[in-house]
Amino acid sequence: MKLLKIYAALLILLLLVSPIFAEEHAAEAPQPPIKKYAEFTLGGTYTDTKIVSTFGTSSTKTLRGLFKKLDALKTDDDLAGVIFKIEGVSLGWATLQEIRNRLNEFREAEKETIGYLESGGNAEYLLAATMDRVVLMPTGSLNLTGLRAEVLFYKGLLDKLDIEADMLAMGKYKSGVEPYTRDGMSDEFRESMTALLDDLYAQLLNHIAESRDGISTEDASDLINRGPFTAKEAKQTKLVDALQYYDELVATLKAETAEDEEVQVVKPGSERQRKVPDMNSFAGLMQLFSILNPPQRAQATSENQIALIYASGAILPDIDSIFMPMSVVTPKTLKKAFEKARTDDSVRAVVLRVDSPGGSALASDLIWREVMLTQREKPVVVSMGNVAASGGYYIAMAAGTIVAQPSTLTGSIGVFGGKLNLKGLYNKAGLTKEIIAHGQNATLYSDYGGFTPTERERVEKMMRTVYEDFVNKAAAGRSKSFEAIDEIAQGRVWTGRQAQELGLVDELGGLDDALSIAKKQAGFTEDDKVNLIVLPKQRPFFEQLIEQMIEDTEGSIQLEGWKIGRLEGWGFQPSLLPAFHSMLGAHWQYVVTWLTLFGFEGGTQVVTILPYDISIR
């Protein structure tokens, strides 16, 4: 009887405990493996640096920021692949090639890449074509239509306003004055532009052929002539792999996995999204101020450093303005950066990243001097972005090594100059000027008349002196004769690939390639850890404002017209600059640059600048 009670108690205990064992067993059961894809939006504009505006740095996306995100995706062991939603891309050719090279690295990491397009043009497609598969929305279109060059000419407008652009140019192909003095291209301008477009078009065909199996460069040319394409046509011609809505793409990924696998699509960094500040409260305003003016991170000191110096934008004289709504390069800023890199013993090499169409010849020469002095002390390697032509090439040519993308616009070794004659506009408005002058050339800088014969002679001589100095310095930097450089100079613009063949560029590649070369020239091995310091330091608006106030109180003498970028004399006010910027769009930087270089009395400039930009659409 006693034994029976023991057995009964054990049976009851077993019944009570068995669910616990079952739960533990169920908890220990292996979860189905998860195949994780990251969703990453690739679109908009990517620049080298952010623009520091009145309220802090802008929301402009930078290339280095993009590359950091791509590297994080590439090295994330939890990811099986990345879905790139590509939309609204606005990039220069060289930037696009640099991003393409980064996307191609995903294949080495053995991660599947998918390019998803709702619709796309040349730029969007060239990025998507690097992927393992290209998916287009069923109602979308593929606007693969080839390339075109458009140059806007202003002479007709100036004629209507009775404004004469009295300009001179040095160099057979120096076409910078033509938009202001002609209604269309000269034969030389057309020849140079056609040669540029020929090379860029060949690169476009090569990119398509190398990215899509079964499509040769000849096929790519034929396809472009048949574009644009409906979604169905793009699929039939094998330009895309599938026609799907985004949810259908995700469903396909799930269907392609094994039965015991799950597919998960995540957005990287979504858990760190910042809450939008409440603008109706003081605390919210302070939070906004903190976001727009973040504290500077202290950089770790290191004996092994490479300085990365950015020169992005038009090259202008020193402008004591904190209201300029665009990136500019000035001697004062670059001088500080190079002095820091040159005198800091922990900095072993310098990489100068140039993305500039040029500008003031005098400002370019001052920056060239800093590059040359630094090259004497330590290696300087130039990385060229979308454009490093005219003044942009001027500041690069003193470096020991020049690296450019195949599509970088470079060269344009030439100068032009002159002034705007506003006499007709004054008279049209009922204004007249009476001038009393002592000195044969006293009216040289007057806006109330063109150049006299003797004034034109002096301006032409000054310009020829600048041109010959440009060629001489390029010859010294490239270890060539004056005659050899003069033959390929003449204001002619070249692609990076053409420039390498001519000896104006040493290597083809991007910023990473330039950094690798600098690291090697500094004596580092591949395994050495190197700290990168970025110059010039970008500072928030209020820090610049305080510094400017201190400089003003120390007795620096400034012309009032310079306070807002030499525009006040033309009736411009700082508060109006954003409005003009929004109206003129992409042409704004050329308008501001032109007015800054030529739009003030006593400032006729000899300039080295491109009058146009080439972007891929």
Q: Which residues are catalytic?
A: 390
Cβ–Cβ under 8 Å, residues 91 and 46: yes
The type of residue at 583 is: M
Please name which of 254, 243, 270, 251 lies closest in space to residue 117, comparing C-alpha atoms.
243
The type of residue at 75 is: T
For residue 550, the tally of other CB atoms under 10 A from its CB is 10
Crossing angle of helices 63-74 and 511-521, in 10° steps, is 90
Cβ–Cβ under 8 Å, residues 238 and 215: yes
User: How long a stretch of residues is the chain?
Assistant: 617
The type of residue at 342 is: R
The C-alpha atoms of residue 99 and residue 88 are separated, in whole angstroms, by 15
The type of residue at 410 is: T
* b/e sequence 486-509, b meaning 16+ C-beta within 10 Å: bebbbbbbbbbbbbbebebbbebb
HEC string of 275-332 equals CCCCCCCHHHHHHHHHHHCCCCCCCCCCCCEEEEEEEECEECCCCCCCCCCCCEECHH
Strands 401-404 vs 507-508: parallel, antiparallel or unpaired: parallel
Cβ–Cβ under 8 Å, residues 471 and 482: yes
* Cα pseudo-dihedral 604, 606, 607, 612, rounded to 10: 70
